């Protein structure tokens, strides 16, 4: 049976690492072995591609046994080798690489760039992150299934792919299936009217899966036949001690259009949520994206990053879109210097909005807030830490950041606080708004006075 592309890639990474560690000749490794690729593993034959004829001749003559030993060490199987140059392989690919025995889920593919290493962890997603790490290492299947839920764009898909990639690195011979629920439905419908033998082949396919990752399971709602098939798959895998990880936009108890027996099974393992991401986490994600896209990090000040995070931080996709918009605008304007707040406002056509909000000054915000809490404006900007004064100060900071589009540095100068205090305060008030109706009432009343 032909191994999947993901499995082959994971095996070859380990093989090259093994060779590099045992060869003790970095020059030879870099010149002749590092650029080799493994095309297929089938019927105890490993097909290896070399960049050119010279490399093929040298590797085949001098390093065949080294490769065989490393392959055997990683896979616990002895393979014979067949070498082809990349040109020869392209011309003969169809005959050299055996096709998969079953045509199921041919579009299923892990995203190699989504790993635990580039997943930004904060308080909002720490539980989901740690549970994902755990199921990769847990051989006792204590949490099966792992059910992760959150609103869209908060990192569920990233974690699913990270689980699959890490699992394959540790278990290169295992079979991982990552698929969206929508693709699962499409695949099942494709075979609904096929012969019984083909249906049985589909069931056999799932029996061979060691790790099943399904994204957006809520898509199964009201699809009775698909749910029946998945009920069988779920039971078969759990009974065979195979791990299942599911994601959804809501908790199992909130799912609609599912039979109770499925919901019960979804809830039988570990259920974790990802909450809205904190401001600091969003800023770290922005920094990661800036580096990943090879933008110059020095062009982005903290004020710009925190502004983007506070304005476009509902989900990571919106945040990425905002970053792309600014970078495109910067290129369009041929700006070679730092990206300023003026550039940010121009990029999102916020000039008119900004000028209107500029009519409301931070001093007016302080005055309106002081009036609401029966304080003197000077108390808000003082160092006094009484509860009522601290609360009023926090609300001033939040309103200036959220509705006046002021930077953390600008706000800090107004209330005599440093940048980090302002950042923490904005996040704190955002959290309080979810649980404290009095805070929400106060902010709405002050905004009404200010007309922002």
- Residue 145: cis peptide before it, omega within 30 degrees of 0: yes
Per-residue pLDDT of 110-141, as tens digits, reads: 888 899 999 999 999 999 999 999 998 877 78
pLDDT tens-digit readout, 410-440: 899 999 998 889 988 998 998 888 889 999 9
Which pLDDT score is estimated for 252? 94
- Residues near 13 by Cβ (< 8 Å), separated by ≥ 6? 169
C-alpha distance from residue 34 to each of 11, 24, 60, 211, 252 (Å)? 14, 14, 14, 30, 47
Q: Is the pLDDT of residue 408 over 60?
A: yes
Residues 6+ apart with CB under 8 A from 179: 105, 108, 187, 213, 214, 215
| Helix (H) or strand (E) segment spanning residue 49 | strand 45-50
User: What would the mean pLDDT of 171-192 be, rounded to a whole number?
Assistant: 83
Mean pLDDT for the chain overall = 86
Q: What percentage of the chain has pLDDT greater than the value 70?
A: 90
Q: State the pLDDT at residue 211.
A: 92
Phi/psi at 355 (nearest 5 deg)?
Answer: -65, -35
pLDDT at 201: 64
- Cα distance between residue 18 and residue 10, in whole Å: 13
408 vs 356: which has the higher pLDDT? 408
Helix, strand, coil tally for the chain in percent (to 5)? 60, 10, 30
108, 114, 115, 119 alpha-carbon torsion, rounded to 10°: -140
b (16+ CB within 10 A) / e for 302-328: ebbbbbbbbbbbebbeebbebbeebbe
Sorting pLDDT into bands at 50, 70 and 90, what band is 380?
Answer: very high
Residue 387 burial (CB count, 10 A): 7
In the predicted structure, residue 357 carries a pLDDT above the cut 80: no
Give the pLDDT confidence score for residue 96 in this predicted structure. 54
pLDDT of residue 352: 44
């Amino acid at each position: 049976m032909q191994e999947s592309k993901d499995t082959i890639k994971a095996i070859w990474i380990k093989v090259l690492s093994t060779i590099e560690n045992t060869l003790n000749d970095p020059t030879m490794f870099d010149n002749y072995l590092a650029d080799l690729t493994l095309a297929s593993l089938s019927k105890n034959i490993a097909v290896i591609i070399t960049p050119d004829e010279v490399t093929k001749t040298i590797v085949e003559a001098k390093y065949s046994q080294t490769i065989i030993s490393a392959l055997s060490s990683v896979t616990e199987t002895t393979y014979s080798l067949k070498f082809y140059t990349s040109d020869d392989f392209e011309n003969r690919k169809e005959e050299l690489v055996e096709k998969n025995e079953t045509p199921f889920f041919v579009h299923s593919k892990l995203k190699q760039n989504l790993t635990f290493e580039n997943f930004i962890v904060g308080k909002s997603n720490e539980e989901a992150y740690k549970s994902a790490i755990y199921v990769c290492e847990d051989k006792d299947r204590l949490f099966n299934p792992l059910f992760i839920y959150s609103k869209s764009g908060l990192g569920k898909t990233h974690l699913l792919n990270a689980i699959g990639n890490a699992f394959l690195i540790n278990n290169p011979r295992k079979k991982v299936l990552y698929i969206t629920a929508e693709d699962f439905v499409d695949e099942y419908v494709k075979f609904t009217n096929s012969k019984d033998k083909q249906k049985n082949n589909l069931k056999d396919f799932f029996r061979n899966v060691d790790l099943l990752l399904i994204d957006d399971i809520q898509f199964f709602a009201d699809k009775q036949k698909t749910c029946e098939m998945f009920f069988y798959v779920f039971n078969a895998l759990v009974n065979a001690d195979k791990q299942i990880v599911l994601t959804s936009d809501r908790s199992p108890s909130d799912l609609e259009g599912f039979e109770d027996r499925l919901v019960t099974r979804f809830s039988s393992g570990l259920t974790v949520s990802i909450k809205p991401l904190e401001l600091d986490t969003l800023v770290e994600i922005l920094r990661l994206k800036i580096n990943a896209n090879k933008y110059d990090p020095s062009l982005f000040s903290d004020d710009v990053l925190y502004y983007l995070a506070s304005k476009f931080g509902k989900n990571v996709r919106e945040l990425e879109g905002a970053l792309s918009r600014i970078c495109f605008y910067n290129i369009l304007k041929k700006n070679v210097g730092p990206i300023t707040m003026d550039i940010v406002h121009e990029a999102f056509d916020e000039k008119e909005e900004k000028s209107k909000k500029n009519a409301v000054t931070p001093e007016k915000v302080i005055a309106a807030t002081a009036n609401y809490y029966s304080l003197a404006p000077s108390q808000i900007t003082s160092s006094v830490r009484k509860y009522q004064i601290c609360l009023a100060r926090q609300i001033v900071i939040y309103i200036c950041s959220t509705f006046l589009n002021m930077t953390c540095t600008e706000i800090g100068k107004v209330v005599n606080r440093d940048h980090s205090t302002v950042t923490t305060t904005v996040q704190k008030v955002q959290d309080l708004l979810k649980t404290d109706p009095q805070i929400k009432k106060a902010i709405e009343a002050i905004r009404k006075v200010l007309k922002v």
